[in-house]
Chain A
Amino acid sequence: MLDQVQKTDKASAAVAHPLLELRSVTISFGGFIAVNNVSLVLEQKPVYGIIGPNGAGKTTLFNVLSGFIRARKGELLFRGETISHLSSEQVARRGIVRSFQITSIFPHMTVTDNVVLSLERRKHGGTRTFVRANWSDDHSAEAHDLLDQVGIPPSLRSEPANDLPYGRKRALELAISLAARPQVLLLDEPTAGMTVPDVNRTTELISRLSKDRTIIVVEHNLGVIANVADEIVVLQQGSVLTRGAYDDVRKDVRVIEAYLGKRQ
């Protein structure tokens, strides 16, 4: 019954409710408060940038949004429905997919298989057992398309993912997430450690991808943020310091202080 109510709710939710909403979410690790009573409403905008000094709680916030850490205090809503109780895989299936700050790929599988794994999960649930031997060929066109998009050349695609150079691993990380075709894509420092051409390609890719979905990107590279983000949220010590357009945020004294320390 409850299900029924929620479903009818859903139809209207698309217009009435914000995309994502955090209601006084607090996360603490044994006394240390990493996310402090954060309330945040995110609309169906193309790209949000989240910035803040190291340890501000950006990754922890992503962990909450993606269900990797349950928010015991506070509530999390996706299109008006609570998702606080969902496990990470359930959140992912609803369309909120994250990438990881520390590259997280399947190291011993081939590059293509890394993406195939994600495609198979989205299209068929990922637990099919009795299928024809060359089932993965079904995915190869799409897999190669995704790898093209993130710029991994065909010559590297049948190598174990572990053998990719660092920047390519970051690209693969992105491709795995993209293969899940998310409605909301959470990118945790996607360009960290990349060379300049890779950064440029990724920036372009983010802009392009944001046409069909909302992307929330954590970045230390403010150049990237300036380029892609429509709105910026600044975190400091677990709280939202301010939010707004890049140019406004950049001039905000509090933000400058947060990054550079207080001027005496």
Chain B
Amino acid sequence: MAGAAAPAEQISVSYRPGIKPMAYYITLLFNGLVTGGFLAMMSLGMSIIFGMMRVVNFMHGSMFMLGAVVVFVFGSYFGLSLWFGFFVAAILVGLLGVILERTLIKRLYGLDLAYILILTFGLSLIVEDIVRMFFGVTSAPFLVPDMLKGAVNLGFAFYPKYRLFVVVVSVVLCAGTWFALERTRLGALIRAASERPNLLKCFGGNVPLLISGTFFFASALAGLAGALAAPIRNVSPFMGEEMINFVFAVVVAGGMGSIAGSVVMGFGSGLVSAIAAIFYAPAATAVIYILMLVVLVVRPGGIFRGIDISHFALHYTPISERARRLFMSPPAALVALAAGLVLPWLVYPVLATDILLWGLFAVGFDLLFAFGGLLSFGQAAYWGTSAYVTGILMVWVGVPMPLAVIGGVFASTLAGTLFGFIVARKKGIYFSMITFAFASVVYFIVNEFADYTGGEDGLHGVIRTPLFGIDLRNDHVFYYACLIAVGLTIALVLRLLKSPYGMALLGARENERRMMSIGYNVYGLRVKAYALSCFICSIAGALYALNHQFVTLETVAWRASGDPIMMTLLGGAGTIFGPFLGGGIVLLMRNTLSSITDSGSLFIGLLFVAIVMLFRRGILGEIVHHWIDRRSATGLGPNHDTSQPEKAPMKVAGIGGIADA
């Protein structure tokens, strides 16, 4: 959400001096409808794809951005009319959607839903970075065709024709889509397919066409929304990031997969945002997330009844029980410790400390992911909060360093625990999307209170001081201090994972219903896991602030939530030490690449795609799988291999299980 300002419309009101204040407010509400129109079109497409294929397409935001870029390029370089631009943008972006589905997404059907989310997350990083190479931030009001220039008299106020046009188009498209889905034969087919995705198979030869058609339509809708937005918003590579944040919030609050929910919540969010802007302009964005959180507390299923995906918990089974035991054994810890001791002599110490702390951050994520079965897309909220609170306590309050660290970790863990009570009710994709939205709220808060956090400039002056006579200002010394802290935290994690609680957590991931049937409070287990994860991420975050002696907005940005996912998957989820290996590789490569190119995200995105498509167990996971699992499996039959993530989702959470639930 870099530079996520309030949606542009809210501020640039066509306000003419002398008009009555009432008209001014109504104009603002109309602007809310414009924002709402975009949100509704975007959420609608997201919902349709989700309903049909259970795919959460993170690329949806990038498609919005691409639509705007296409219109801009065609309009300003080739001088083509906006009408033509709309058409081209919709077709091109629609085709992109189809191609993505046919080439990449298709291969992940039947696996855990999380893989597709991660894949499309990676793809969106790639797309945005590529666009960023050629394109900065621009605006393109000149694209508006003559016919739509100027304002119309609505009776109470003059309102720009073009904006009115956007409202009309979005309403017509949403209503048309609703009609097509509810009232036509094709719609009936699609709805039937979304009720029971497996029934798709029974439709014979039309299945791929139906899927491609759905992808085309939803993507084209996103492209068109972007195209419509181009003349009235800043056209930039980042406009998709902002959009996908909102769309997640809207779709979750509206009821995932519900067409009506997306449209109503889309327009509703736009209006609420406009109303909030009347009172306090910067709240325009935050209020959308707050609305979502309120809806979730009051009505956990969303406003409208969405598609029940509660049986689609995360069944990511990265490694076998045998392999897990190996990683949790003392020899593995000794090897890791040895590596930790020599690391600062191999790379420069600040980088070594970074590897250690990002690794710990990733362990916090992995605790939820591999052991809790919960994919959090927002752990940066805690890593960042802890870093900022520690920094603020030191810089603005003058609290001594060790107390500031404790305060930062405490405050951040407390926030995480409280949020945990809400989010632990959610599973699977819902969980991912809500954590993502919550992290956006944190980002907003940090950015908003720039007086204390330094905003875009970062918080400077978080100076390390000596502790117990040890000079922590020395980078080597600080590294070893961190190594001790990280080591103790890992020891704690191992201890917990080996305890009855750890086994129960695994049990809840494996088979939630069975756990409940023997008396386990699965919700309670998850709240604790979430709090624990936040605690770990917070420790890493506070030390990270000290390592660099300043805190940047990057630490709470959504990319910072993506990094630990990447590191964990690369090193090997569920392997305890894999996240450190993954962290090391990512940071070293980024470090090397930064001297050549600034396309860090491109490379991270490519890694994401490669991992999800090619080696889902991660480095350590694959090694162990090939050396240990295979070897011990000989002679025990083909189904001995328990580590096939490919089979887990259907087997454990298969559609067949619904009737018995």
Within 496-533 of B, Cβ neighbours of A (below 8 Å) are at: 496, 498-501, 503-504, 506-507, 510-511, 513-522, 524-525, 528
Query: Taking A92-B519, A117-B507, A180-B518 as contacts, is the C-beta distance between A107 and B642 under 8 angstroms?
Result: yes
Interface-facing stretch out of A41-49, A124-132, A246-254: A124-132
Query: Taking A127-B504, A133-B498 as contacts, is the C-beta distance between A104 and B519 under 8 angstroms?
Result: no
Query: B298 — which chain A residues lie within 8 A by C-beta?
Result: none
Query: A98 — which chain B residues lie within 8 A by C-beta?
Result: 517
Interface residue? A73 (CB, 8 A): no
Within 617-661 of B, Cβ neighbours of A (below 8 Å) are at: 636-637, 639-640, 642, 648, 651-652, 656-657, 659-661
Q: From residue B188, how far is it (CB to closest CB) to chain A in Å?
A: 17
Q: From residue A32, how far is it (CB to closest CB) to chain B in Å?
A: 12
* Chain A 121-158: CB-based contact to B (< 8 A → 1; otherwise 0): 11010111111010110000000000000000000000
Interface residue? A93 (CB, 8 A): yes
CB atoms of B640 and A163 under 8 A apart: yes
Query: B504 — which chain A residues lie within 8 A by C-beta?
Result: 117, 120-121, 126-127
Interface residue? A160 (CB, 8 A): yes
CB atoms of A89 and B521 under 8 A apart: yes
Instruction: Report Cα–Cα, A121/B518, bound state, in Å.
Output: 8
Query: Taking A92-B517, A162-B639 as contacts, is the C-beta distance between A106 and B511 under 8 angstroms?
Result: yes
Contact of A59 among B495, B520, B639, B659 (CB under 8 A): B659
CB atoms of B500 and A104 under 8 A apart: no
Query: B511 — which chain A residues lie within 8 A by C-beta?
Result: 104-107
CB atoms of B495 and A130 under 8 A apart: yes
CB atoms of B514 and A126 under 8 A apart: no
CB atoms of A93 and B499 under 8 A apart: no
Query: B636 — which chain A residues lie within 8 A by C-beta?
Result: 159, 163
Interface residue? B269 (CB, 8 A): no
Residue of A nearest to B513 (CB): A104
Instruction: Report Cα–Cα, A11/B466, bound state, in Å.
Output: 65
Interface residue? A51 (CB, 8 A): no
Q: Which 7 A-B pairs have the closest CB atoms?
A: A92-B519, A88-B516, A106-B510, A93-B519, A128-B500, A118-B518, A160-B642
Interface residue? A39 (CB, 8 A): no
Could you list 11 examples of A-B contacts with CB < 8 Å?
A68-B516, A88-B513, A100-B660, A107-B511, A126-B500, A127-B500, A127-B525, A133-B498, A163-B640, A163-B642, A177-B518
Q: From residue A185, how far is it (CB to closest CB) to chain B in Å?
A: 11
Q: From residue B88, how far is it (CB to closest CB) to chain A in Å?
A: 43
Query: B500 — which chain A residues lie within 8 A by C-beta?
Result: 120, 124, 126-129, 131, 135
Query: A68 — which chain B residues lie within 8 A by C-beta?
Result: 513, 516-517, 661
Contact of B514 among A104, A120, A159, A163 (CB under 8 A): A104
CB atoms of A63 and B501 under 8 A apart: no
CB atoms of A129 and B518 under 8 A apart: no
Query: B652 — which chain A residues lie within 8 A by C-beta?
Result: 107
Interface residue? B321 (CB, 8 A): yes
Interface residue? A64 (CB, 8 A): no
Interface residue? A110 (CB, 8 A): yes
Contact of A121 among B519, B524, B640 (CB under 8 A): B519
Q: From residue B243, how far is it (CB to closest CB) to chain A in Å?
A: 34
Select the residue from A97, A98, A129 with max chain B CB neighbours within 10 A.
Answer: A129
Query: A118 — which chain B residues lie within 8 A by C-beta?
Result: 518
CB atoms of B517 and A88 under 8 A apart: yes
Instruction: Report Cα–Cα, A138/B640, bound state, in Å.
Output: 28
Instruction: Report Cα–Cα, A107/B642, bound state, in Å.
Output: 8
Instruction: Report Cα–Cα, A113/B642, bound state, in Å.
Output: 15
Interface residue? A108 (CB, 8 A): yes
Query: B496 — which chain A residues lie within 8 A by C-beta?
Result: 129
Instruction: Report Cα–Cα, A68/B317, bound state, in Å.
Output: 26
CB atoms of B520 and A102 under 8 A apart: no
* Chain B 435-459: CB-based contact to A (< 8 A → 1; otherwise 0): 0000000000000000000000000
Instruction: Report Cα–Cα, A130/B659, bound state, in Å.
Output: 39
Interface residues of A (CB under 8 A from B): 59, 63, 66, 68, 87-89, 92-93, 97-102, 104-110, 113, 116-118, 120-122, 124, 126-131, 133, 135-136, 159-160, 162-163, 176-177, 179-180, 188
Interface residue? B320 (CB, 8 A): yes
CB atoms of A101 and B321 under 8 A apart: no
Query: B516 — which chain A residues lie within 8 A by C-beta?
Result: 68, 87-89, 92
Instruction: Report Cα–Cα, A160/B507, bound state, in Å.
Output: 13
Instruction: Report Cα–Cα, A118/B504, bound state, in Å.
Output: 9
Residue of A nearest to B504 (CB): A126
Instruction: Report Cα–Cα, A76/B507, bound state, in Å.
Output: 29
Q: How large is the interface on B (under 10, 10 to 19, 20 to 34, 35 or more residues)?
A: 35 or more
Query: Taking A113-B503, A120-B503, A121-B504 as contacts, is the C-beta distance between A126 and B320 under 8 angstroms?
Result: no
Residue of B nearest to A123 (CB): B500
Residue of A nearest to B660 (CB): A102
Q: From residue A189, how far is it (CB to closest CB) to chain B in Å?
A: 10
Query: Taking A127-B500, A127-B504, A130-B499 as contacts, is the C-beta distance between A109 and B510 under 8 angstroms?
Result: yes
CB atoms of B320 and A108 under 8 A apart: yes
Q: From residue B128, how far is it (CB to closest CB) to chain A in Å?
A: 37
CB atoms of A129 and B656 under 8 A apart: no
Instruction: Report Cα–Cα, A63/B321, bound state, in Å.
Output: 31
Query: B515 — which chain A residues lie within 8 A by C-beta?
Result: 89, 117
CB atoms of A129 and B517 under 8 A apart: no
Instruction: Report Cα–Cα, A120/B503, bound state, in Å.
Output: 10
Query: B317 — which chain A residues lie within 8 A by C-beta?
Result: 108
Query: Taking A89-B522, A180-B519 as contacts, is the C-beta distance between A108 and B499 under 8 angstroms?
Result: no
CB atoms of B503 and A63 under 8 A apart: no
Contact of B321 among A102, A110, A131, A180 (CB under 8 A): A110
Residue of A nearest to B505 (CB): A127
Instruction: Report Cα–Cα, A160/B651, bound state, in Å.
Output: 15
Query: A128 — which chain B residues lie within 8 A by C-beta?
Result: 499-501
Query: Taking A59-B660, A108-B317 as contacts, is the C-beta distance between A121 and B520 under 8 angstroms?
Result: yes
Query: Taking A88-B517, A92-B518 as contacts, is the C-beta distance between A109 and B321 under 8 angstroms?
Result: yes
CB atoms of B639 and A163 under 8 A apart: yes
CB atoms of A89 and B656 under 8 A apart: no
Additional A-B contacts beyond A107-B511, A127-B501 (12; CB < 8 A)? A68-B513, A89-B516, A97-B517, A105-B514, A108-B642, A117-B504, A117-B507, A120-B503, A128-B500, A135-B500, A160-B640, A163-B639
Query: A110 — which chain B residues lie within 8 A by C-beta?
Result: 321
Contact of B518 among A87, A97, A136 (CB under 8 A): A97
Residue of B nearest to A180 (CB): B518
CB atoms of B656 and A162 under 8 A apart: no
CB atoms of A89 and B659 under 8 A apart: no
* Chain B 174-207: CB-based contact to A (< 8 A → 1; otherwise 0): 0000000000000000000000000000000000
Instruction: Report Cα–Cα, A188/B498, bound state, in Å.
Output: 33
Instruction: Report Cα–Cα, A130/B501, bound state, in Å.
Output: 9
Query: Taking A128-B500, A163-B640 as contacts, is the C-beta distance between A107 and B651 under 8 angstroms?
Result: yes
Within 54-113 of B, Cβ neighbours of A (below 8 Å) are at: none
CB atoms of B520 and A126 under 8 A apart: yes
Instruction: Report Cα–Cα, A92/B503, bound state, in Å.
Output: 19
CB atoms of A100 and B499 under 8 A apart: no
Query: A130 — which chain B residues lie within 8 A by C-beta?
Result: 495, 499
Q: From residue A127, how far is it (CB to closest CB) to chain B in Å?
A: 5
CB atoms of A109 and B639 under 8 A apart: no
CB atoms of A135 and B517 under 8 A apart: no
